[in-house]
């Protein structure tokens, strides 16, 4: 779904009076994605995200926020991402006859080739400031 279509659908839901239901659905979806990304990292790197704590440190919260905003699985280094984008490009050219090249694209985020998202909107200095202020207000449990 394009960003414009997504925005239009959310606007229709809001204007139809389904605001509270929509808000709860979005909150649930974001919560599930945060849990999925946190579990993904915990499985891959238990020393960093392992243990039985039910909280995230500030750096973990920033990392998970980035992962949710960009849908980055942090599974490859830059060379691996370039290879993956080239393989995706080859498959799409084979399937469709032609497809835009990944040259000049990042894998994730704004203008991402594997997954494009408005990452600069979510992952901004202002929004991370808000996140870090909330963390500071609640305190960090060690």
**pLDDT tens digits, residue range 22-71?**
778 888 998 899 889 888 888 888 887 765 566 777 788 888 888 888 88
40/56 Cα distance (integer angstroms): 14
Higher pLDDT, residue 49 or 100: 100
Average pLDDT over every residue of 128-139: 78
| Under 8 Å between Cβ of 101 and 94 | no
| Under 8 Å between Cβ of 141 and 55 | yes
- pLDDT digits over 104-132, tens only? 999 998 888 998 887 777 777 888 788 77
Percentage of the chain exceeding pLDDT 70: 91
Cβ contacts of 52-58, under 8 Å, gap ≥ 24: 53/141, 55/140, 55/141, 57/140, 58/132, 58/135, 58/140
């Amino acid at each position: 779904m394009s960003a414009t279509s997504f925005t239009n659908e959310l606007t229709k839901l809001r204007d139809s009076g389904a605001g509270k239901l929509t808000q709860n659905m979005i909150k649930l979806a974001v919560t599930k994605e945060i849990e999925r990304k946190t579990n993904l990292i915990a499985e891959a790197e238990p020393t960093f995200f392992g243990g039985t704590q039910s909280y995230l440190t500030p750096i973990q919260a920033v990392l998970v926020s980035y992962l949710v905003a960009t849908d980055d699985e942090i599974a490859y280094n830059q060379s691996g991402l370039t290879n993956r984008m080239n393989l995706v490009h080859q498959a799409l050219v084979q399937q469709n006859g032609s497809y835009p090249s990944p040259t000049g694209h990042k894998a994730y985020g704004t203008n991402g080739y594997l997954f494009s998202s408005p990452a600069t909107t979510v992952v901004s200095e202002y929004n991370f400031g808000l996140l870090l202020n909330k963390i500071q207000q609640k305190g960090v449990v060690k």
